[in-house]
């Protein structure tokens, strides 16, 4: 089975459409997972939700998704993120709000556990190092955990009682190490690794490979739409720099 793994789309339809076009051109996949934060920050939450539904994608709830429908506290959000969430809440359709409300914070299927933050704290914890990844090994029972939240693509592998980060250059198919794994596809809609191109993952469970892919998109279009609806300038500008 081949899976497309997306995360942190953040209401950026231009970025999502670029990723889907890349998939259509080059990758036949059997299923699609979205690891949370479908909305927040960006200008087209309803359109992004509709596009995922059209593609039959399965998804989990992220902190921005929950905040947009009032089930996650925004106290820990910075001012710009909170402002974007307040705007998002005002424009969500009833159908979009119902979609977000129906998401769980954790899904399991076969060898996969899917969360937004981490398996031990699905909504809020950031897995930012092998040490944090190791601390989460006891919080899920499957071989593979897919997560997002950090906006950084990464592959962690359990190794001799610890966890190591596996080098996985964008565009290359990397053999999956034996044993337990944690994979973050990076962010579709707001990359933060100083590369503004959308990031996603193709996971081939039959061939046991992972391919992190980067896709340029029309950043100026998303920025224009963000300005038109009055989203914070800092959120607009950071898209160009990938940080």
Domain boundaries, the chain: 2-241
On whether the CB atoms of residues 188 and 213 are closer than 8 A, the answer is no
Mean pLDDT for 98-111 is 98
CB atoms under 10 Å from CB of 216, counted, come to 12
CA dist., res. 147 & res. 7, Å (int): 8
Q: For the chain, where are the E strands, in sequence order?
A: 2-6, 31-34, 58-59, 106-109, 112-115, 144-146, 153-159, 162-165, 173-175, 181-185, 198-204, 209-215
The fold for domain 2-241 equals Purple Acid Phosphatase; chain A, domain 2 (3.60.21)
Instruction: Dump pLDDT digits (tens) for 51-64.
Output: 999 999 999 999 99
CA dist., res. 223 & res. 240, Å (int): 9
On whether the CB atoms of residues 188 and 8 are closer than 8 A, the answer is yes
| Structural tokens at position 209 | 């490979």
CA dist., res. 28 & res. 230, Å (int): 38
Cα 25 to chain centroid distance, Å, stands at 21
| Percent share of the chain, pLDDT over 70 | 100
Mean pLDDT for 202-212 is 97
Mean pLDDT for 137-144 is 98
| Structural tokens at position 8 | 């942190």
- pLDDT computed for residue 28 by the predictor: 83
| Percent share of the chain, pLDDT over 90 | 94
pLDDT of 188 above 90: yes
- pLDDT computed for residue 99 by the predictor: 98
CA dist., res. 209 & res. 203, Å (int): 6
- pLDDT computed for residue 160 by the predictor: 86
Q: What is the pTM of this model?
A: 0.97
Mean pLDDT for 2-13 is 98
């Amino acid at each position: 089975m081949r899976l497309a793994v997306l995360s942190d789309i953040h209401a950026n339809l231009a970025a999502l459409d670029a990723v889907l076009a890349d998939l259509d051109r080059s990758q036949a996949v059997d299923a699609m997972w979205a690891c949370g934060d479908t909305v927040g920050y960006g200008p087209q939450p309803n359109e992004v939700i509709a596009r995922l539904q059209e593609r039959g994608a399965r998804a989990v709830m992220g902190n921005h998704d929950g905040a947009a429908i009032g089930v996650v506290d925004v106290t820990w959000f910075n001012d710009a993120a909170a402002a974007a969430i307040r705007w998002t809440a005002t424009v969500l359709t009833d159908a979009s709000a119902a979609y977000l409300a129906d998401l769980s914070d954790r899904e399991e299927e076969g060898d996969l556990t899917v969360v937004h933050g981490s398996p031990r704290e699905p909504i809020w914890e950031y897995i930012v190092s092998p040490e944090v990844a190791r601390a989460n090994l006891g919080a899920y029972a499957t071989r593979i955990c897919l997560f997002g939240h950090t906006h950084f693509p990464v592959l962690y592998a359990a190794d001799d009682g610890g966890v190591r980060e596996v080098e996985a250059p964008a565009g290359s198919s990397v053999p999956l190490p034996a044993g337990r794994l944690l994979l973050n596809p990076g962010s579709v809609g707001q990359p933060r690794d100083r590369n503004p191109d959308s990031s996603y993952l193709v996971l081939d469970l039959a061939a046991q490979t992972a391919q992190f892919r980067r896709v340029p998109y029309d950043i100026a279009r998303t920025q224009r739409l963000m300005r038109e609806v009055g989203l914070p300038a800092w959120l607009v500008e950071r898209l160009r720099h990938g940080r």
